[in-house]
Amino acid sequence: MKKRLLSIALAAAMTVTLFGCGGTSSDTTTSSGDSSSSSASVSSSDLNIMLETAVESLDPQEATDGTSFEVIADFTDGLMQMDEDGQAVEAIAESYESSDDGLTWTFHLREDATWSNGEPVTAADFVFGWQRAVDPDVASEYSYMLSDIGQIKNAAEIIEGNVDKSELGVTAEDDYTLVVELEAPVSYFLSLMYFPTFYPVNEAFFNECGDSYATSPDTLLSNGAFVIDDYEPAATAFHLTKNDDYYDADTVQLSGLNYQVIQDSQQALMSYQSGDLDMTLVNGDQVEQVQDDDEYLAVGAGYLWYVAPNMDAVEELANENIRFAMTYAINRDSICEDVLKDGSAPTYTAVPPEFATGPDGSDFSADQTMFADVCSYDADKAAEAWEKGLSELGVTSLEFDMIVDSDDAPQKVAQVLKEQWETALPGLTVNLVVEPKKQRVQDMQDGNFELGLTRWGPDYADPMTYLGMWVTGNNNNYGLWSNSEYDAIIEECTTGEIAQDEEARWQKLYDAEQIVMDEAVIFPLYTQCNAEMISSNVTGVEFHPVALNRVYKRAVKSE
């Protein structure tokens, strides 16, 4: 029996689509659901999972970080959930429809969903949760998911405090019908519904708990696959157990989830090797130790790392040729393979690959050579552009400071970048200025930098989560770049007529990206991967680069 299991696991591991390793999908599953449920014997033991950081909040409207989202989604279902490919599929909503103008969405809720205190999950719970998200008294950090991104009626006004939260464009028509009104059609609206900010909260229970809501098992309600039964704020270890009252309880094979926060990666790997963990993250240096192992898996994390040149404040960087020279001089393959080693993928587009799927089901940035003429590794072109740029500026040497986070990976990448630039571009000196992350972000937002190494993670599965950044006046448009043509396209794709025509919108987004790349507004470097180890007797864990990074609902652990 053991042998057979092993072979199944091996087969499963082989069918896995690896992100950054030639795969086509970033949404990675450790096995297809069918093979595991039909043949593998089901174990009753818990899945032991390593976390890098502790949970910040289990309140769905207050949480902002990936760890918290993952755990909240373990025990809470929204209207929709992610399937193994990262597509939105029905969860609490049984069915849904949208009006022809795309401004009204109606969700019909399933009637067999209950909270863990026995109360049914109703449309009113969603109304309460969403109103909390925009309530200025709650001041949720993710309120912009409802306003700027979700375009829900009156959300922006409520957040500013001009309109009462009861005016939010979401109403409970009856207990099981939820109607949402939008300001403008949003093509990716369904994919927002699995984002925890949109999760329901039971009003009566919330009021009972008062300030202590979501701080202990007693002050948390579950309507999802698991129930939290051991937790305290900022705990380094906590536990969830299977929810037998879950409407989809038959799908859930695990008896529970056992989380352990481990900040030191070597301790984590040792714990994994000694069998205390079923899943763990490993760092790039450790990959060498584990890369021949079948249990090793590189999982897309969605973050795009890039260098932002300050074109506004630094005259030399305002020169296009200098910027082109710098982006041509970067050997992104070497950064990923020789330095990071964790499976991170070299990226030559402003929107990273493998998180946004278009109307035809293909990945927005699947073609990494799309902008090859303006963004590639080409030492000759780099030298040529450099010469040209220098003569235009009338100088023979340049010196730039690059600000870098004090974390491990950015420091490594920055050291290689410095070496690559200084080798390929004679006369260039790059000084690295290492700063705590908070300082680095502030410096970039204040325009107090020359070059900055930074990253951006997608908030939702649409290229706009990146392209929206380079609009004139955006907080994260660090180089203060401004292009009216670009602004017009983005405006059109957000609120214009085209917003409903998915095909046309998609093409327009490419046009916008083309402008960013043509002017070398950023130097994209790589899309981050996480190197994970997953025990060979665990299958069905789903990895996603957006919103919910890991989903365990369909995971199976065999003995």
Partner 1 sequence: MRKYVLKRVLTAVFTLLVILLVLFILMQLMPGSPFNDEKLTDDQLQLLYEKYGLDKPIIVQFFNYVKNMFTGDFGVSYKISKNTPIAQLIASRLPISIGIGFMAVFIGALIGLILGIVAAIWHDTILDTIATIISVIGVSVPSYVFALALSFEFGFTLGWFPMLYSNSAQLSSSILPSVSLSMFTMASIARFTRSEMMEVMDSEYMLLAESKGLSGRALILRHALRNALIPIVTVLAPLIVDLMTGSLVVEKIFSIPGVGSLLVNAIQSNDYNVVISLSFIYSAMYIVIMLVVDILYGIIDPRIRLAKEDG
Partner 2 sequence: MADIANENKYPDDGYSQDLFVLKEDAADITIDENFASQSFWKEVRAQFLKKKSAVFGLIAIIIITLLAIFGPGMNSYSYSDQDLSQKNLAPRVAWLEGLGIFDGSETISTTSGSKTTNGYEDSGLSDVYYWFGSDTFGRDIWTRTWSGARVSLIIAVAAALIDMIIGMSYGLISGFFGGKVDMVMQRILEVSNGIPRLVIVTLLLLVLSPGILTIVFALMLTEWIGMSRIARAEMLKLKEREFVLASRTLGAGSFFIIFKEVLPNIIGPIITQVMFSIPTAIFTEAFLSFVGLGIPVPQCSLGSLISEGFNSFTTHPYQIVPPIIVMALLMLSFNLVADGLREALDPKFKEM
Give the binding site for partner 1 (CB under 8 A). 54-57, 59, 62-64, 136-139, 141, 143-144, 159-160, 211, 215, 232-237, 260-264, 266-267, 270-271, 273-274, 276, 436-439, 441-443, 445, 456, 459, 475-476
Residues 465, 458: contact at Cβ < 8 Å? Answer: yes
Q: Based on CB atoms, which residue is closest to partner 1, 201 or 441?
A: 441
Q: Which does 283 bind (CB under 5 to 8 A by kind): partner 2, partner 1, none?
A: partner 2
Cβ at position 440, least distance to partner 2 in Å? 11
Q: What's the DSSP call for residue 548?
A: -
Q: What does 292 interact with, of partner 2, partner 1, none (CB < 5 to 8 A by kind)? A: partner 2
433 binds partner 2 per the rule CB under 8 A: yes
Work out which of 290, 390, 464, 556 binds partner 2, going by CB under 8 A.
290
Contact between 407 and partner 2 per CB under 8 A: yes
Determine contact, residues 179/492, Cβ cutoff 8 Å. no
Q: Please, what is the minimum distance in Å from the beta carbon of residue 267 to partner 1?
A: 6
Q: How far is CA 118 from CA 79, 113, 205, 299, in A?
A: 19, 9, 11, 37
Residue that is written with structure tokens 């040149």 in the block: 309
Among 5, 339, 370, 393, binds partner 2 (CB under 8 A): 339
Contact 193, 79 (CB under 8 A): yes
338 is a contact residue toward partner 2 (CB under 8 A): yes
4 contact choice in partner 2, partner 1, none (CB below 5 to 8 Å, kind-dependent)? none
Q: Is 273 in the site for partner 2 (CB under 8 A)?
A: yes
Helix (H) / strand (E) containing 271: helix 265-273
Q: What is the 3-state secondary structure (H, E, C) of 495-518?
A: HCHHHHCHHHHHHHHHHHHHHHHH
Question: What are the DSSP E strand ranges found in 328-395?
Answer: 345-346
CA nearest neighbour of 259 among 557, 47, 63:
47
* Least distance between partner 1 and beta carbon 62 (Å): 5
CB-wise, 286 or 347, nearer to partner 2?
A: 286
Pair 307, 525: CB distance under 8 Å: yes
Q: For partner 2, which is the closer residue by CB, 384 or 443?
A: 443
Exposure string of 470-500, with b = 16+ CB inside 10 Å and e = fewer, is bbeeeeebbbebebeebbebbebbbebebbb
Q: Binds 285, which of partner 2, partner 1, none (CB < 5 to 8 A, cut-off by type)?
A: partner 2
Give dist(CA 78, CA 89) in Å, integer.
Answer: 10
Burial label, 128 (beta-carbon count in 10 A; 0-12, 13-18, 19+): buried
Cβ closest to partner 1, residue 119 vs residue 276: 276
Considering CB distances under 5 to 8 angstroms, the limit depending on partner class, which of partner 2, partner 1, none binds residue 414? partner 2
Binding-site ranges for partner 2 (CB under 8 A):
265-266, 269-270, 273, 283, 285-286, 288-293, 295-296, 334, 338-339, 406-408, 411-412, 414-416, 418-419, 432-436, 439, 533
